[in-house]
Amino acid sequence: MGINVGKDYGAWKKVGGSFNDLPVRGGLVTERKEKYSFSFSDAELVQINIPGIYIVYGDILFKQQQMYFRPTYDVPDMVKLRFTLSGNGTIFNRVNKQQYIFNSNQQNIIYMPELDGTGKYDTGHSYRFFEVHFAKEKFLQLAEHSTKALQVLADYADTGRYTQLAEQNLPISWAMQHCIRDILDCDYPEGLKRMFIESKCIELLVLQVEAFERAISQKQPSALHSAYDRDCLYHARDYLIANIHQPPSVAELAKICGINEFKLKQGFKGLFDNSIFGYLSDYRLNHAKELLLDGLPIKSVAFMLGYSSVQHFSNAFRKKFSSTPGKLKS
């Protein structure tokens, strides 16, 4: 979605097209890829538009911590499915005096009809996000006769009140990541492409609402009520990913992250909906799939990700994806 961005309140740059800038002819799919280079950031955007749905995927490297945003008035009213894939950021919207925090591997559903405020971002890491914007009327139709939580969000949007599905962002599940990847990798002919992308956007909405319903129905361990413990768990996850080729034991990881083993195991399961090594295994195999699709040899991928042999890697890959690495590359 097009937005006015600046390094101060003087000079503004419009980043991304608006919903109306991507016309849909005959109800099919319009896609655009753009690169931007400003004094305050470098960005690559992929924008996809189908009737009632606008998708944007961004990879941004910020050159300064603080940014300024002002409203754009050339876009329709929309409800946003927000996925922060990597990096960290915070936006303060002066219109409703609300702060929105976007941390790596977190998601939420947000209705923010107007943005006028400031953002702060980590300049040391790439900031990647994926968003699905449903036109408000389409979202209201989808929310009708659904869960109570989604209907409440729809009621707020219908009356123009700012809201979000969860007070705190929730983790992005592997199912959500797969869904996002399916959208970005879609190579169907245009007629089928529209049907496929629309179905995947609705699937993402269902997965988000399901995660929210599950989160409020489960009693989280007391460890997760502590901000310190949550920080330790996120550090544990990041450390695992950074040392994917030679991961530590649970005891070693607990010591590294400053938390006891019980809190680490129970808290990790509660926060990321997976065991420590179940999460690591899923991450390794999903990363392996991306590397294979990028053209890397099977042997190199197995070695890079710490598998003891190509056979061990192939067996794990086949068990997860019901296909061998060789078939994926062919």
Residues in the chain predicted with pLDDT less than 70, given as ranges, are 1-27, 71-75, 218-226, 329-330
Predicted pLDDT of residue 109:
96
Residue 300, both tokens? 């190199």
Predicted pLDDT of residue 117:
84
Q: Hey, where are the domains in the chain?
A: 3-217, 222-329
Predicted pLDDT of residue 12:
39
d(CA 2, CA 31): 14
| Cβ count near 89 (within 10 Å) | 20
Q: Given this structure, which CATH class describes domain 222-329?
A: mainly alpha
d(CA 330, CA 327): 5
Strands (E), the chain: 3-6, 13-15, 30-37, 41-50, 53-62, 66-70, 78-86, 89-93, 98-102, 106-111, 117-121, 127-135, 163-164, 170-171
d(CA 323, CA 315): 9
What would the pLDDT profile of 80-119 be if each residue is shown by its tens digit?
Answer: 999 999 888 888 888 888 888 888 889 999 999 888 888 8
Q: Given this structure, which CATH class describes domain 3-217?
A: mainly beta
Residue with tokens 């799939």: 289
CA dihedral 264, 171, 179, 299 (to 10 degrees): -30
Integer-rounded Cα Rg, in Å, for the chain is 21
Predicted pLDDT of residue 23:
42
